[in-house]
């Protein structure tokens, strides 16, 4: 495909397929792929969020409603419904600007929500490597934990890459969760005594 045509294209992948095949089905194929990708990503977010909240209930850090399990399928049904509703509310709240920007915002926020866990995992690996090294010095530390340091640095870079607005919303959402954590912790500690 000529460079000038590609530069003026609004849908470059579809236009490349159409140009290469001489047909007009490229746009349909790309749109179908986008729909499948979007549905797969959304399903993954909802399932991961539901399992995370279910695990938090098992650690007594979340309200018990999230522990409700479907008797037939043995899945955390309440967590699935609540996380699905929350995802749709987030999408509706951001629908004002446009569907594309709402999808990008959700994608970045979902990515951001898992990056702190990756950062802590990389940092924990660094600590484990340091604790296992009997001859601790800077050179041995850097050699044994190079991949972990690289993973930690990438996590920080990826958090930075999500953008200031997404980081702000992620931080606000994290802060909103603190009162629920404090309440659950207080309730659990009170039952233990």
| pLDDT reported for residue 138 | 78
pLDDT over threshold 60, residue 96: no
Q: Both 25 and 67 in a single domain?
A: yes
The whole-angstrom separation of Cα 16 and Cα 26 is 8
Q: Which domain holds residue 172?
A: 97-193
Q: Both 49 and 125 in a single domain?
A: no
Q: Both 65 and 151 in a single domain?
A: no
Beta carbons of 87 and 38 less than 8 angstroms apart: no
Number of domains in the chain: 2
Residue that finishes a domain, picked among 53, 72, 93 = 93
pLDDT over threshold 80, residue 58: yes
Q: Both 78 and 103 in a single domain?
A: no
Of 57, 61, 106, which is closest to residue 77 (Cα–Cα)? Answer: 57
Q: Both 82 and 114 in a single domain?
A: no
The whole-angstrom separation of Cα 119 and Cα 141 is 18
pLDDT over threshold 90, residue 135: no
Mean pLDDT of 125-154: 80
Q: Both 112 and 182 in a single domain?
A: yes
Mean pLDDT of 125-144: 76
- Give the tens place of pLDDT for each residue, 23-45: 888 778 877 887 788 778 777 77
Least confident of 62-71, 122-131, 151-160, 174-183: 122-131
Mean pLDDT of 65-69: 89
pLDDT over threshold 70, residue 178: yes
Q: Both 188 and 113 in a single domain?
A: yes
pLDDT over threshold 60, residue 97: no
| pLDDT reported for residue 94 | 59
Residue that finishes a domain, picked among 75, 93, 111 = 93
Q: Both 61 and 135 in a single domain?
A: no
Q: Which residues of 25-50 are buried (b: 16+ CB within 10 A; e: fewer)?
A: ebeeebeeeeeeeeeeebeebbbebb
Q: Both 85 and 124 in a single domain?
A: no
| pLDDT reported for residue 151 | 92
CA dist list (Å): 136 to 132, 139, 147, 183? 9, 8, 17, 42
Q: Both 5 and 86 in a single domain?
A: yes
Beta carbons of 40 and 56 less than 8 angstroms apart: no
Q: Both 190 and 101 in a single domain?
A: yes
pLDDT over threshold 80, residue 192: no
| pLDDT reported for residue 154 | 93
pLDDT over threshold 80, residue 100: no
Residue that finishes a domain, picked among 77, 93, 109 = 93
* pTM, two decimal places: 0.52
| pLDDT reported for residue 164 | 92
Average pLDDT, the chain: 81
pLDDT band at 158 (very low <50, low <70, confident <90, very high): very high
The whole-angstrom separation of Cα 43 and Cα 92 is 17
Q: Both 84 and 121 in a single domain?
A: no
| pLDDT reported for residue 156 | 93
């Amino acid at each position: 495909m000529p460079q000038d045509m590609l530069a003026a294209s609004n849908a470059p992948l579809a236009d490349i397929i159409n140009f290469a095949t001489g047909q007009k089905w490229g746009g349909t194929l790309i749109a179908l792929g986008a729909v499948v990708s979007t549905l797969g990503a959304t399903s993954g977010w909802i399932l991961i969020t539901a399992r995370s909240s279910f695990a938090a209930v098992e650690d007594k850090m979340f309200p018990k409603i999230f522990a409700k399990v479907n008797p037939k399928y043995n899945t955390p049904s309440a967590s699935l419904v609540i996380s699905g509703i929350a995802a749709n509310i987030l999408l509706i709240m951001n629908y004002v600007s446009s569907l594309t920007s709402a999808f990008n915002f959700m994608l970045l926020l979902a990515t951001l929500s898992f990056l702190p866990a990756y950062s802590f995992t990389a940092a924990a690996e660094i600590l484990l490597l340091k604790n296992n090294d009997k001859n601790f010095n800077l050179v041995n530390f850097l050699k044994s934990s190079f991949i972990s340091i690289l993973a930690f640095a990438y996590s920080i870079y990826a958090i930075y890459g999500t953008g200031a607005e997404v980081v702000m919303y992620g931080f606000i959402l994290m802060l909103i969760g603190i009162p629920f954590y404090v309440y659950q912790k207080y309730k659990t500690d009170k039952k233990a005594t």
